Structure 1
Amino acid sequence: MRFRFDHAPLAVRSCWCRDCQYLACGNASVNAFFRRAGLSMEGAPAVYVSHAASGNTMRRSFCPHCGTHLFSEAEARPETVVVRVGTLDDREVGRPASIIWTGSAPGWAELDPAVPHCEGQPAIPPVPPSPSAAG
């Protein structure tokens, strides 16, 4: 399965919520936020629906062939797709600009003091309109 976006990520965060720790084998996951518009896929992912600590209903997509976790989509934010940076061909776009859910991080977690932290779910900024939607 292959996918691509026609734009750069809107934001990149490291997340220490318990769900992300499970997905990242005990570490934080690094997630890039993209507009859904501009996503193209070859193949269809398998899907698992769950409820996050933030209260969001999450749709988690993974490769049906190898099981690699690819995307998360919050029901409350249908215009965005959260992509696991490790699945991108160009992982250099994945430098986290913030670290979230630090209140759930284990005591041994190394949290870069130069990167802003949030103990839980931060307010999500509005998604800017896609360039093609501009008048």
Structure 2
Amino acid sequence: MTDRTGRCLCGKVQFKLSAEPQMARVCWCRDCQHLASNGTVNALVPVDALSVSGEVAEFRKLAASGNELTRQFCPNCGSQLFAYSSARSQLRVVRIGNLDNPSSVAPIMNIWASSAPDWACMDASLQRVEQQPLPPTSSKP
């Protein structure tokens, strides 16, 4: 695996992924729509595979799933970078658009598809999950 790198819009926060994502997906929950005015494309990585340089700010909110979500963003430019759930503290959500090579990770599913607007452009070849999917299974023993 080649390390993946990324950064926020202004470059004050940089990060590196040192493991393959466990999965990637497009999220259509209402919170993600508020963040991006669209669905967000996210990779799930083990917490110990994400290294971050620079300061991030946080915003916490109870999600539709019932879990507390913490979203992390650059306090300078506002770029949404990472998130994590109280239900899966061992994983971090990484916004794929912030990778230096966003084409290096492809989503496999649309989640919270029931919340998507009528005009949403969803790739029909991706799995469709109406709400919160089951957590990814780890390849570690």
Q: Which residue does the alignment assign to 2:5?
A: none
Match of 1:107 among 97, 115, 118: 118
Aligned residues: 129
5+ unaligned residues in a row in structure 2: which ranges?
Answer: 1-12
Match of 1:50 among 61, 64, 67: 61
Query: Could you tell me how far 1:80 is from its partner in structure 2?
Result: 0.4
* Whole-angstrom distance in 2 between the partners of 1:43 and 1:106: 35
Q: Which residue does the alignment assign to 2:29?
A: 17
* Whole-angstrom distance in 1 between the partners of 2:53 and 2:122: 36
Q: CA RMSD in A?
A: 1.2
Structure 1 stretches of 4+ moved >6 Å: none
Listed as ranges, the matches of 1:54-69 within 5 Å are 54-69=65-80
* Whole-angstrom distance in 1 between the partners of 2:139 and 2:60: 26
* Whole-angstrom distance in 2 between the partners of 1:15 and 1:94: 15
* Whole-angstrom distance in 1 between the partners of 2:44 and 2:138: 10
Match of 2:101 among 84, 90, 111: 90
* Whole-angstrom distance in 2 between the partners of 1:56 and 1:80: 14
Say whether the 8 Å CA contact 1:31–1:94 is kept in structure 2: no
Identity of aligned residues (%): 42
Q: Which residue does the alignment assign to 1:4?
A: 16
* Whole-angstrom distance in 1 between the partners of 2:59 and 2:138: 25
* Whole-angstrom distance in 1 between the partners of 2:58 and 2:106: 27
5+ unaligned residues in a row in structure 1: which ranges?
Answer: none
* Whole-angstrom distance in 2 between the partners of 1:91 and 1:82: 14
